[in-house]
Structure 1
Amino acid sequence: MIGQRRGLAPRGNVAPVFDEVLAAAQGRAGWAFTQLYESLAPAVAGYIRAQGVSEAEDVTSEVFLAVLAGIQSFAGTEVQFRSWVFTIAHRRVVDARRTAARRPEFDSLDGSATAQQDARECTGTAEDEALRSLGTARVEDLLAALAPDQRDVVTLRILADVSLEEVAGVLGKRPGAVKALQRRAMAALRRRLSREGSERRHG
């Protein structure tokens, strides 16, 4: 468990580099794993919630328990670490979908939070920003109409702010295929939003 061994926290206001934090976390330094968790948990939770998974906080906790269990065997860069964490998150989402298919949930979704609050701030297209600005329930409604692979790409790329190369690694696809899926997904969302806007104007 975190904190079983005592680790030295970073001195002063100088943030340690990733390699130092990783090494400390692998040595069971509680402050180091906390720093890794706090840097990625909001994006992971946003990705899981945007996928329509119920009890997203519990699933997020499961992801980081798996990270804790496997962190000593991890070797790689910060980008590779992010990819590894989101690969675990993606597997948990797939598991949750299978569980939901066997035991459907009928509880209403909480739309009080926003997907934007759960994702890291980043720059993007006007369409990306518009999607982030929608409430969680609305985003889930829009994403539900997409094919599963398109939904995976959109939630990872836009809501969780994962790079193209990272998404390719998480989903086991080529970057070009990920880009094509994102392009088709955004086109589908644009058509739906345009259609709904037209219906409201003429309704």
Structure 2
Amino acid sequence: MGDSELGDAVARAQAGDHGAFGRVYRDVHPMLLGYLRGLIGDEADDIASETWHDIVRDLGRFRGDGLSFRSWAATIARHRALDHVRRVSVRPRTTELDERVAEPVSGWDSEGLALENLSTERALALIAELPQDQAEAVLLRVVLGLNGPMAAEVLGKRPGAVRTAAHRGLKRLSERLSGAEEK
């Protein structure tokens, strides 16, 4: 869904249209989940749930278009992720959680979905190896599709710094992928 369509769906959701909210969720959630997986890994589903709770709670106060909505959602997700990291560092988990398989939202066939999940997992694993500023910039620019100024707003940095971090991160990823193909 394009920014204009997303903005229209958000406006209808704010007016109480549950179907429009479903469209917003189906469009934004996979990108938001990818961003969170890049930030915090396996706990992304829980943090995404907290993020959507906050989005629903504050949706009436949101003002802006589709791109602004994605930026707003990413900001909330980032704050939830940082809160989670602080909680875990104060009270580390002592047991391993069972891995859960998220149900796909798309209508892909099983083979296509499996290939997409493998490539997504590999991409997120490679992004996770980047320095944090580069990883976040790549996730916001590529996974969530935010422009430089919006990504900068989410990160509290200047747009030029975010563009540079994203460029360096993508360059490193390209070099890693080129090196892996040569082997």
Task: Give TM-score scaled by structure 1 length.
Answer: 0.66
Q: How does 1:40-189 map to 2 (within 5 A)?
A: 40-102=28-90, 103=92, 107=96, 134-136=119-121, 138-189=122-173
Distance in 2 between residues matched to 1:134 and 1:17, nearest whole Å: 28
Alpha-carbon distance in 1 for matches of 2:138, 2:93: 24
- Contact residue 38 and residue 128 of structure 2 kept, 8 A: no
1:142–1:104: structure 2 CA closer, same or farther, 3 Å change rule? farther
Query: Which has the higher Rg, Structure 1 or Structure 2?
Result: 1
Identity %: 31
- Residue type of the partner of 1:148? Q
| RMSD between superposed Cα atoms in Å | 3.2
The AA in structure 2 aligned to 1:40 is V
- Measured after TM superposition, the shift of residue 141 of structure 1 is 3.5
- Uncovered stretches (5+) of structure 2, i.e. residues with no partner: 106-116
- Evaluate the alpha carbon distance shift between residue 143 and residue 101 of structure 1 in structure 2; reply closer, same or farther with a 3 A threshold: farther
3-state SS, counterpart of residue 156 of structure 1: helix
Equivalent position amino acid for 2:20 in 1: A
Count the aligned residue pairs: 166
Instruction: Tell me if the contact between 1:47 and 1:160 (Cα under 8 Å) persists in the aligned partners.
Output: yes
| Secondary structure of 1:75's aligned partner | coil
Show CA shifts across 1:106-163 (max 9, x none).
75997x89xxx99xxxxxxxxxxxxx97341x33442333221111111122233333
* Pairwise CA distance, 1:105: 7.3
Q: Structure 2 length as normaliser, TM-score?
A: 0.72
CA distance in 2, matches of 1:197, 1:105: 38
CA distance in 1, matches of 2:172, 2:7: 41
Kindly provide the CA deviation profile for residues 14-69 of structure 1, in whole angstroms up to 9, marking residues without a partner as x: xx955653343223332222222122111111111222432322221211111111
Say if 1:26 and 1:71, in contact at 8 Å, map to a contact too: yes
Higher relative contact order (CA 8 A, sep 6+): 2
